């Protein structure tokens, strides 16, 4: 709503009707944001929000066209993703285990243990937590209506089960608010930044979920994990090898157990020293 409001201000100042805006106005809007020195990520967010909103307006019959269709988005600046070390990820989870709710613990556990995108975290349904052979797995929703299957190892599963015992067995998204409503990406981002600050991670306000995802991958590669295995964890396999359900031998090679063991040992060390 905040990002769309800037577009609404623009068309009001230009004396235009929201349902009948010529395409050139979106170009002028983008140029004006660039001229004021707004960061590329901010401009991307505002353009994406307005474009998505117009998709809805067209479906509702309020707008005849989408003035943002075909617009080239501002490029993401290279090298600006905020990363943290494997030790800092461990510090964050240890802090959550000591001081935060079961839901917060399980959210961090799934983010750190699967390196998933925030859309997958928020979109995964309770019925998508299943077993495949002897493995416990999450079938994470990803782009294109597909699912990406990841192993849920013992310690991550323990934290997740602690939250599910409070959540109950009602169908729907795994991660819900206290009133039973699905969580939003902004909430997850603020939660991660808050935990990072409490754990003493420098510049917590610059940390994103995308940064967490790549921090996990970097930590695995630094520990000597094979590149192809890390790519499979991230869901970057080629279309020819990507399947809705991973084969058991693929799950057996998953680095999830190594992540799980490292996190469990780190949390035990930190909580033992605290107590």
Annotated catalytic residues are: 117, 143, 210, 213, 236, 245
Residue 154 tokens read as 């013992």
Name which of 84, 79, 66 is nearest 22 in CA terms. 66
Contact between 54 and 11 (Cβ < 8 Å): no
CA distance 120 to 252: 22
Residue 47 tokens read as 């353009």
Nearest-5° Cα angle at 55, 235 to 14: 125
CA distance 7 to 5: 5
CA distance 129 to 139: 7
Eight-state DSSP code of residue 16:
-
β-strands 135-141, 129-132 pairing:
antiparallel
User: Which residues is 137 bridged to in the sheet?
Assistant: 130, 151
The 3-state secondary structure of 65-92 reads CCCCCCCCCCCCCCCCCCCCCHHHHHHH
Query: Strand, coil or helix: what is 127?
Result: helix
Contact between 244 and 146 (Cβ < 8 Å): yes
């Amino acid at each position: 709503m905040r990002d769309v409001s800037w577009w609404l201000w623009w068309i009001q100042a230009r004396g235009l009707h929201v349902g009948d805006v010529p395409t050139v106005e979106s170009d002028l809007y983008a140029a004006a944001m660039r001229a004021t020195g707004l960061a590329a990520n901010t401009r991307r967010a505002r353009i994406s929000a307005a474009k998505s909103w117009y998709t809805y307006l067209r479906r509702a019959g309020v707008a005849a066209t989408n003035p943002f269709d075909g617009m080239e988005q501002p490029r993401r600046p290279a090298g600006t993703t905020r990363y943290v070390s494997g030790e800092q990820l461990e510090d964050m989870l240890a802090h959550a285990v000591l001081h935060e709710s079961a839901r917060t613990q399980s959210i961090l556990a799934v983010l750190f243990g699967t390196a998933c995108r925030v859309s997958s975290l928020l979109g995964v349904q309770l019925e998508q937590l299943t077993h495949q052979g002897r493995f416990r797995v999450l079938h994470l929703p990803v782009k294109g209506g597909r699912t990406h299957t990841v192993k849920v190892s013992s310690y991550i599963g323990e934290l997740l089960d602690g939250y599910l015992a409070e959540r109950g067995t009602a169908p729907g998204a795994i991660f819900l608010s206290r009133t039973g409503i699905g969580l939003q990406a902004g909430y997850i981002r603020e939660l991660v930044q808050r935990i990072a600050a409490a754990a003493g991670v420098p510049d917590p306000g610059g940390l994103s979920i995308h940064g967490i995802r790549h921090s996990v991958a970097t930590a695995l590669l630094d520990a000597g994990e094979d590149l192809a295995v890390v790519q499979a964890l991230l869901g970057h396999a080629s279309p020819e090898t990507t399947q809705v359900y991973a084969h058991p031998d693929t799950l057996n090679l998953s680095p999830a157990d190594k992540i799980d063991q490292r996190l469990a040992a780190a949390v035990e060390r930190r909580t033992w020293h605290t107590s």
